A and B are shown apart, each in its own frame.
Chain A
Amino acid sequence: MNLSIIKITFTFRELIQIAASGVMIFGIGLMILGGFQILENKLLLIQNAFAYSSVGFIIYWLSSYWGKPAGIKNDGVWFKAVSSRKWIAWLLAIVLTSFYCILYWFPEYLGYNEKGNTGFVAFFDPLSYYLKNKAASQWFVYGVLYTWAILLFGIKFIIKYRHSRYQILRTLSVMFFQTAFAFIIPEFLQRMNLPYHDYKNIWPLNYYFFDGWHLDEMLMNGKIGYWMLMSGILMILIGSPILTFLFGKRWYCSWICGCGGLAETAGDAFRQLSDKSVKAWKLERIIIYSILLFVIAMTGGVIYTYITGELYLLGISTDKIRSIYGFAIGATFSGVIGVGFYPLLGSRVWCRFGCPMAAILGIQQRFFSRFRITTNGGQCISCGNCSSYCEMGIDVRSYAQNGKNIVRASCVGCGICAAVCPRGVLKLENGTIDLFNRVENPYLKNPPTTNS
């Protein structure tokens, strides 16, 4: 069906998309009007704002994929301005980085005020009161938006990859962990006057876990606080190594982690922007392991101070180091650059170059894990889809076309390389028998054929 409006023809699909965009913009409009206090701040307003924009968003993506057979949907990725580093991408990057700068360093511009919020933060007050009987903070606003983004873009991702159960389950998992563990449980804890705690946020990604104030906070909260501390430490020492041994680092990076969750869902449109050059790989290793050393040193210092009460270790203020880390890595790298630069550098910049948790899991994945990506015989046609869509910038093709398995520290096991491969060459696999031989393709050692 075609409708003609002033000489421009719209298809039925486009008309629905336009209508859906209208609904979404209406919702966002309510948010803005609420933020400027033009409409009265009530729970109903915020509910409406979120409902309209969510419904609009979901209808938009449903109608985009509706009626099209399930399959890989990468048509026009490099033609669209948003996903090919053209003007929209730049605009978006500027908006996002500005948002992060304001959030971290100038929350008063969002309306945050301890004595009584105004502006955008105040707009979230009713919701915050509803959930935990406290006024909103800029972090509450951020948490809501972050969870909302993962949920909405997660739905979009599931519609897009509806032919792959691996992708669906993985996305449901990050949506669940973000909503329950990063949002609802911590809010609930706060409502009960217990400390904020995100169980899935593990040291060293959670770099303040061993900070004095945080340890105190946990230790002062009886059994629950003690449980938080112990579960955190057990996860670092036992849970994480076992899970990484069994499944590779993906159990965390693309099934649980919030940073990964946002990258996989909201960042999906930008995965092809990652740099695949060997140079980028070298840079990646230098930076990520430096940050790992940094966080270990920083944490060591902080614990030293906590135990001994000495403020200086080797003549350096541990608190100073701690705040440098928080500023440079915790805020600037993981937030401003990590998310703000999605549209320019791809969705996993933080996970690839920065995250010390990824560094630890990666080292284990490389040397002591059952996980690898196997290549299927001599099927590879060197097309390059796998490398292009690897968000971690791994040149998957360079392995696949030589019939080698992929065992790389940085691989987060998102499975997209396998999904986009038009020849079914790649499969994510866990095997114990060839634990230390995973790079070798087990079949090719004694190949029935002479290919690849």
Chain B
Amino acid sequence: MELTQRKIGKKGMEQIVIVGNGVAGITAARWLRKLGDAKIYVISSESAYFFSRTALMYVYMGHMLWKDIEPYPRDFYSKNRIDLLHTKVQSIDFQSKIVLTEGNKPLAYDRLILATGSKSKSFDFPGNHLKGISSFYYKQDLEHLNQISDSIKHAVIVGGGLIGIELAEMFCSRNIPVTMLVRETDYWAHVLPEDEARMISRHIQDHKIDLQLETRLQAVMGDETGRVNKIITDKGAEINCNFVALAIGVVPNIDIVQNTHLECDHGILVNEYLETNIEHVYAIGDCAQLRDPILGRKATETAWYIAKAMGKTLAHHICQQPTAYQQVLWYNSAKLLDIEYQVYGQVPAQIKYPLNSLHLELPNGRQSIRITYDHDTKVVKGFLLMGFRFRQDVCERWILNKTVLENVVSYIRLAFFEPEFYKGFARRYMKKFNIEFGKSAYLKTRGSFDSVLKFFKRSKKKESDESEHN
């Protein structure tokens, strides 16, 4: 009954159902509304309103209240005629185009967008049923952590990735002693080049976090109440603790479509238009897996920006002409305790021929820059910054315009995005370049904002000249 009532709506109006109110789902909804007049439902079991998952930690640390991490005011959705349903999708009937929510309530759709995100990875180890083991992904994880926080005497974090270090920072903020178990030789060493990974390892220790490298979790032991009271590492060491946080990565959350006709691998398989194998069913964000990722890129990239870009692209695809999702130049940023990290383009952990790099770490041990370039042509391929902010758009221009290293280094100040009066490193970096290449190049700009604007004007002009030429 509800089904027919809902379906009728305005005559000829398409009904689009989005599962998941994360950044992918909400961005899609926003753009669908900007570009069209469909009836839009967004369903989520996690929270009534979209919140910034990346900011969960700040609520725990007391930097912000829950309402502060909701990017849109709550009346935004009704104003934009986006219907939010705070319920769980139990199953989907792709044949009759119906989504079944909790209590078997049906909701019909003309188009279905799956944006169910990820869930935390887990693995089998002795004692993994004990109380006091949890991961950190959902709002509910935060609530749970908040509840038991006062009882945590010592926490062990398993995993040396972005969520692991966020958890470490969270515990530190509440003066809970932390041990971090990291499989690699340094923190995040499978992503960061050695120097950078070292720097962060040092920085972690500066925060009085017990960082145990090349160490894995072997087993967890409990007390008589069934709560964790110590862990054993693969080196045989015992660490007393009553909380274990698993931060070993995420996997696409595709529970509701498992064993259906929807084609999945580890994620929901989509083509470049973000379409699944079933017509009018799409997948975006962390749960999507591209059938043909471009060379050197992953099929599932679990990042905020990716989810956002996918949501926007899909809305254009549905409402306007066919629009393909393109894996544009990779970029990412994070804050590793107090050190900000930014990466643009190609900077792998192992820098091998034909890639090479020019790296400079400042004496304070908290700031560094690395630019990768093609060894033969000297064309710049990527930027990696620690503790220093760069202008994304300038870096991207340089990479896309195939600028050579010498030009980039002599204009490096154009990319500086630090607050005014910062201490730059342009001179040192120039010197390093000159020594390494036996040249005598010099800095060509002081990097005022006007010179940055001129740079854009020039490169746009160059671009349009070139396209006219073609």
Q: Which residues does A use to contact B, with CB under 8 Å?
A: 69-72, 74-80, 163-167, 169, 272, 277-278, 374, 376-379, 381-385, 387-388, 397-398, 401, 415, 418-419, 422-424, 427-434, 442-444, 446-452
Distance, CA A428 to CA B419, complexed state (A): 7
B420 touches A278 (CB 8 A): no
Contacts A70-B338, A382-B55, A424-B340: A451 and B308 contacting too (C-beta < 8 A)?
A: yes
Q: List 18 A-B contacts (CB under 8 A).
A: A75-B173, A78-B63, A272-B64, A376-B389, A377-B391, A379-B331, A383-B55, A383-B69, A384-B68, A387-B68, A388-B68, A415-B419, A423-B333, A427-B389, A430-B449, A449-B329, A451-B308, A452-B308
B54 touches A431 (CB 8 A): no
Query: Are B449 and A378 in contact (CB-based, < 8 A)?
Result: no
Docked pose: A377 CA to B344 CA in angstroms: 11
A423 touches B338 (CB 8 A): no
A70 (CB) vs chain B CBs: closest residue: B338
* Contact in complex: B326, A75 (CB < 8 Å): no
Kindly state the separation between the CA atoms of A451 and B312 in the bound complex, as whole angstroms: 8
**Per a CB cutoff under 8 Å, which of A383, A388, A398, A424 touches B417?**
A424
Contact pick for A74, options B61, B393, B417, CB 8 Å: B61
Evaluate contact between B396 and A448: CB separation under 8 angstroms.
yes
Central interface residue in B418, B421, B449, by most chain A CB within 10 Å: B449
Whether the pair B64, A429 counts as a contact (CB closer than 8 A) is: no
Q: How far is the CA of A411 from the CA of B65 in the complex (A)?
A: 23
Chain B residues close to A by CB (< 8 Å): 23, 52, 54-55, 58, 61-65, 68-71, 73, 173-174, 203, 206-207, 304-305, 308-309, 312-313, 326, 328-329, 331, 333-335, 337-338, 340, 342, 366, 389, 391-393, 396-397, 400, 417-423, 448-450, 452-454, 456-457, 460, 463
B450: contacting residue among A74, A76, A433, CB under 8 A = A433
A80 CA to B423 CA in the complex, in Å? 34
Q: Which residues of A contact B328 (CB under 8 A)?
A: 448-451
Q: Known: A377-B392, A419-B419, A448-B397. Contact between A431 and B333, CB under 8 A?
A: no
Closest A residue to B422 using CB positions? A165
Question: Is B449 touching A381 in the complex (CB atoms < 8 A)?
Answer: no
A433 and B23 contact, CB distance less than 8 A? no
Q: Are B329 and A442 in contact (CB under 8 A)?
A: no
Instruction: List, in ascending order, chain A residues with CB within 8 A of B68's CB.
Output: 384, 387-388
What is the bound-complex CA distance between A77 and B61, given in angstroms? 8
Which A residues are CB-close (under 8 A) to B61? 74-76
Hey, which chain B residues are within 8 Å of A418, CB to CB?
419
- Whole-angstrom CA separation of A374 from B389 in the bound complex: 13
B64 x A442 contact (CB < 8 A): no
Give, as a whole number of angstroms, the nearest-CB distance from B247 to chain A: 18
- Of B313, B418, B456, which one neighbours A443 at CB under 8 angstroms? B456
Q: Using known A-B contacts A443-B456, A448-B397, A451-B305, determine if residue A74 contacts B63 with beta carbons closer than 8 Å.
A: yes
A385 and B207 alpha carbons, distance in the complex (Å): 22
Closest approach, in angstroms, between the C-beta of B449 and any C-beta of chain A? Answer: 4
Cα distance A427–B422 in the bound complex, in angstroms: 12
Query: How far does the Cβ of A434 sit from chain B's closest Cβ, in whole Å?
Result: 6
- Tally the A-B contacts, defined by beta carbons under 8 Å: 166
| Residues in A whose Cβ lies below 8 Å from that of B393 | 376-377, 443-444, 447-448
Q: Assess the A431–B449 pair: CB atoms within 8 A.
A: yes
CB pair B308–A77 under 8 Å, yes or no, is no
- CB-nearest residue of chain B relative to A401? B71
Contacts of A451 in B (CB 8 A): 305, 308-309, 328
Q: A165-B421, A384-B55 are in contact. Are A448 and B329 (CB under 8 A)?
A: yes
Is B62's CB under 8 angstroms from A75's CB? yes
Taken together as a complex, chains A and B put the C-alpha atoms of A76 and B444 apart, in Å, by 45
**In the complex, A289 Cα to B340 Cα: how many Å?**
40
The contact of A378 among B308, B417, B418, by CB within 8 Å, is B308
CB distance from B409 to the nearest CB of A (A): 21
- Once the chains bind, are B309 and A385 in contact (CB under 8 Å)? no
Provide the residues of chain B in CB contact with A450, threshold 8 Å. 309, 312-313, 326, 328
On chain A, the residues within 8 Å of B419 by CB distance are 164-167, 415, 418-419, 427-428
**In the bound complex, what is the Cα–Cα distance between A381 and B334 (angstroms)?**
10
B residues within 8 A CB of A423?
333-335, 340
Measured CA separation A450–B456 after assembly (Å): 17
Q: Which of A76, A277, A384, A424 contacts B71 (CB 8 A)?
A: A384
- Residues in B with CB closer than 8 Å to A428 are 419-420
A382–B71 contact, CB under 8 A?
yes
| Distance between Cα atoms of A429 and B68 in the complex (Å) | 26
Bound Cα distance A148, B400 (Å): 54
The answer to whether A166 touches B62, judged by C-beta atoms less than 8 angstroms apart, is: no
15 additional A-B pairs beyond A278-B73, A423-B335, A429-B449, beta carbons within 8 Å, are A75-B61, A75-B173, A76-B61, A77-B62, A78-B62, A378-B305, A379-B331, A379-B392, A385-B58, A387-B68, A424-B389, A431-B448, A431-B452, A433-B454, A451-B328
Chain B residues in 8 Å Cβ range of A443? 393, 456
Instruction: State the CA gap A70–B69 with chains docked (Å).
Output: 25
Least CB distance from A34 to B in Å reads 39
Verify A431–B69 contact, CB threshold 8 A. Answer: no
Taking CB atoms, residues of chain A closer than 8 Å to B422 are 165-166
Say whether B63 contacts A75, CB under 8 Å: yes
- Whether A422 touches B340, Cβ cut-off 8 Å, given contacts A78-B64, A382-B71, A451-B309, is yes
Contacts of B173 on A, CB cut-off 8 Å? 75-76
Asked whether B400 lies within 8 Å of A448 as measured between CB atoms, the reply is: yes
Q: Chain A's nearest CB lies how many Å from the CB of B112?
A: 24
Q: How far is the CA of A69 from the CA of B364 in the complex (A)?
A: 12
